[in-house]
Amino acid sequence: MYGVGYLQRLGRAMMLPMTVLPSAAILLLAAKLPWAAMGWPLVPDLLHAAGLAIFEYAPFIIAVGIALGLSDQTAFVGISALAGMFVFTAITSAYDPQGTHPNMFAGAVIGIVTGWAHERFKSFVLPEFLQLVGGSRVIPLFMCGFSLVFAWLMIGVGDVVSGIAAASGDLVNSAGGFGIFLYGFLHRILVAFGLHHVLNHVFWFQVGEYKTDGALYFGDMPRFFAGDPSAGAYMAGLYPIIMFALPAIALAIIHEARRDLRPKIAAQFRMAALGCFLTGVTEPIEFAFLFVAPYLFIVHALLSGAVMWLTWELGVHHGFSFSAGAMEYLINLHLSTNGWLILPLGLGVGVLYYILFRWCIRRFQLRTPGREDAARLDDWAGDVPYRAPLILQALGGKSNIVRMDACITRLRLTLEDDRKVDAQALRHLGAAGVIRLGSGHVQVVFGTYSELICEEIEKLMQQDVRQVHFHAPVQGRMIPLEAVDDPVFSGGLVGRGVAFIPEKGELVAPVKGRIVHIHPSLHAIGLKTDEGLEVLLHVGIDSSPLGKEAFTVLVREGDEVSPGQPLMRFQLAVLRKRAKSLATPMLITNPEIVRSWRFAPYKPVKKGQAAVMSVVVDHKEEQFQGVGE
């Protein structure tokens, strides 16, 4: 429970309360507007107070956010964490109003313990006359008791904890620029594993303290927004990397792409660069080279640390409430010290990164996007409902998923068997990368579509349907069945499905099943799936007279086959010359048992690609057919 998988859940949970903080930054910016000139002199004070209140009550937000994140946003858990914080605050304030304050440490502890209590007590059974407070309803009672004990403990050691927090800030600051460098390096390395939020929580919400107007603020981020001139050291250096360095990498990838793929790669990475520059979402760019050149990612992490060190040496202090994008740069510029220096520094860093990455990609022949044999089908990005069942299949199916959630850019999964994950299929479906953390813990990076994909998969897992997914039987271009130059096929007289224009002379099984028919002229093969679907693969139009001259069948009737298994080899040159068309239909010849159909976009596909057609089998029809047989 408390290994890497738990840490990635905790990191994701710590990200949840941060979604509230941008509103505080916007309120503080709005307080700087000339309200007095508009006849509303009290508005600046009200807005400033509202913005600081969010950071002042950040311990409560963190406690509730972490608890919700660790419990799949269960209402009982959020209420329990809030009740725990109320109890903690009431007891510590009653004992000594000037003593222990609700702090980020207390909020994190209460949030984590509430999440643990949910796992421990959600199925808690009491005798029938007491079951009113059984199950999840016992969690508020438990947290009130825990918070009482925790508050009493903190009263005894509160001064020690506050001293440790202050001393930790002094210790980190005493490391000077090297401490900043080390943080920047570790931050980028942990991004690859989705664990950077755990590190950020320590530096952004724990290290250092600042007291103003009777309120106490802990951590680099709350101190920055409260006006501490020394705060922002652990955030300012991220701006040149996120706003300039990573978009420069995207530009280098575009310019080093193959000429025929460059337009598509340019469209994809320009959007990624713009999103990174404006909002600070970095994974779509970083994962483009993480897996093809891990050593280059380490160089990137070292450079990130060095840039953060240089930013600190220049006396730049800047901050953000969510991520270091241009929007937050402008919103929070009025609170910064020497924030303008980020722009010339960032331009210089961007030029360095662009030259370095272009040279590395060319010198070491890195297979970055646009230089591989096939690019991912990123134009499926807008078709999340179609991709979701295919992604579920590539993850090993519903039964393989133990736990699933999503942060902004990746799915975080605990699986029964991570060996069932089809990483290649996930990449065809738009994943930037697949990270295996061991013990069944896997992350799949889909960028900002991750949360939508997670929601669609959860809907599918709640449905009791039999869905069958078809792989591409050939390499080539997928076309609508209606585009086949034969009225028998295009009119749906044989069945329903799709067709392909093959580019290579090999046919593979599109689905798991049994070979039930091989045409005497060898140009067509029939399969039957476990779900009762009868599938016909017909190579070419008017190709039956060619026989053995054009076709070599590699299986026999009765053979069991799996997706991607070779079924036939055929001579493309002969078909081009003597057949009416190369079109190769893939049909379901008993479409009456299919309840619903989904087809991928009609685009080029690779042989065996797990993403071309999906059907839902009608249980009633299947059962009826079984009785008839």
Query: What CATH number corresponds to the domain at position 443?
Result: 3.30.1360.60
- 191 lies in some domain: yes
**Has residue 206 got a pLDDT over 90?**
no
Looking at residue 202, its amino acid is V
Find where tokens 């106490």 sit: 216
pLDDT (0 to 100) of residue 625: 44
pLDDT (0 to 100) of residue 619: 57
The bridge status of strand 534-538 relative to strand 506-508 is unpaired
Band (621; pLDDT cuts 50, 70, 90): very low
Name residue 586's beta-bridge partners.
498, 537
Clarify whether residues 44 and 122 are in a common domain. yes
Clarify whether residues 614 and 518 are in a common domain. yes
DSSP secondary structure of 52-93: HHHHHTHHHHHHHHHHHHHTTS-HHHHHHHHHHHHHHHHHHH
**Has residue 377 got a pLDDT over 60?**
no
pLDDT in tens, 305-338: 999 999 999 999 999 988 899 999 999 999 999 9
Q: What is the SS3 assignment for 478? A: strand
Q: Do 516 and 617 contact (CB within 8 A), yes or no?
A: no
DSSP conformational letter for 135: G
pLDDT (0 to 100) of residue 540: 93
Q: Do 316 and 236 contact (CB within 8 A), yes or no?
A: yes
pLDDT (0 to 100) of residue 106: 86
Look at 224 and 198; give whichever has higher pLDDT: 224
Band (626; pLDDT cuts 50, 70, 90): very low
Query: Residue 213: exposed, middle, or buried by beta-carbon count in 10 A (0-12, 13-18, 19+)?
Result: exposed
- Among 435, 463, 491, which residue terminates a domain? 463
pTM score, two decimals? 0.67
DSSP conformational letter for 242: I
- 268 lies in some domain: no
Mean of the pLDDT values across residues 414-418?
90
pLDDT (0 to 100) of residue 1: 47
C-alpha–C-alpha distance, residues 69 and 408, integer Å: 13
Nearest to 599 by CA among 386, 411, 422: 386
pLDDT (0 to 100) of residue 581: 93
Other beta carbons within 10 angstroms of residue 301's beta carbon come to 20
- 368 lies in some domain: no
For residue 601, what is the domain's CATH number?
Answer: 2.70.70.10
pLDDT (0 to 100) of residue 349: 97
pLDDT (0 to 100) of residue 385: 77
Clarify whether residues 419 and 532 are in a common domain. no
Clarify whether residues 108 and 180 are in a common domain. yes
Clarify whether residues 432 and 554 are in a common domain. no
Q: What is the SS3 assignment for 103? A: coil
- Among 195, 211, 228, which residue terminates a domain? 228
Clarify whether residues 394 and 453 are in a common domain. yes
- Among 199, 228, 257, which residue terminates a domain? 228
Q: Please provide the average confidence, as pLDDT, over all residues in the chain.
A: 85
Nearest to 612 by CA among 466, 488, 429: 429
- 479 lies in some domain: yes
pLDDT (0 to 100) of residue 129: 63
Look at 293 and 47; give whichever has higher pLDDT: 47
- 243 lies in some domain: no
Mean of the pLDDT values across residues 467-495?
91
C-alpha–C-alpha distance, residues 248 and 290, integer Å: 16
Look at 536 and 601; give whichever has higher pLDDT: 536
**Has residue 556 got a pLDDT over 90?**
yes
Clarify whether residues 455 and 477 are in a common domain. no
Look at 565 and 261; give whichever has higher pLDDT: 565
pLDDT (0 to 100) of residue 167: 62
pLDDT in tens, 337-357: 999 999 999 999 999 999 999
Band (508; pLDDT cuts 50, 70, 90): very high
Looking at residue 178, its amino acid is F
C-alpha–C-alpha distance, residues 292 and 278, integer Å: 26
pLDDT in tens, 417-463: 988 898 878 877 778 778 888 778 898 988 777 888 888 888 888 77
Clarify whether residues 218 and 141 are in a common domain. yes
- 152 lies in some domain: yes
Name residue 506's beta-bridge partners.
569
Clarify whether residues 418 and 556 are in a common domain. no
Clarify whether residues 425 and 482 are in a common domain. no
Q: Do 187 and 199 contact (CB within 8 A), yes or no?
A: yes
pLDDT (0 to 100) of residue 339: 95
Clarify whether residues 595 and 496 are in a common domain. yes
- 160 lies in some domain: yes
**Has residue 172 got a pLDDT over 80?**
no
Number of domains observed in the structure of the chain: 3
Clarify whether residues 623 and 569 are in a common domain. yes
pLDDT (0 to 100) of residue 375: 39
| Torsion region of 121: left, alpha or beta (phi above 0 gives left; psi -120 to 50 gives alpha) | alpha
Q: Do 208 and 165 contact (CB within 8 A), yes or no?
A: yes
Nearest to 377 by CA among 367, 385, 387: 387
Band (510; pLDDT cuts 50, 70, 90): very high
Q: Which domain holds residue 458?
A: 378-463
pLDDT (0 to 100) of residue 603: 84
Mean of the pLDDT values across residues 512-521?
94
**Has residue 2 got a pLDDT over 60?**
no
**Has residue 373 got a pLDDT over 50?**
no
Band (237; pLDDT cuts 50, 70, 90): very high
Phi then psi dihedrals of residue 205, to 5 deg = -125, 0
C-alpha dist (Å) from residue 518 to 112, 419, 526: 61, 34, 6
- 108 lies in some domain: yes
C-alpha–C-alpha distance, residues 522 and 552, integer Å: 7
**Has residue 608 got a pLDDT over 70?**
yes
Active-site annotation, residues? 407, 538
Look at 386 and 272; give whichever has higher pLDDT: 272
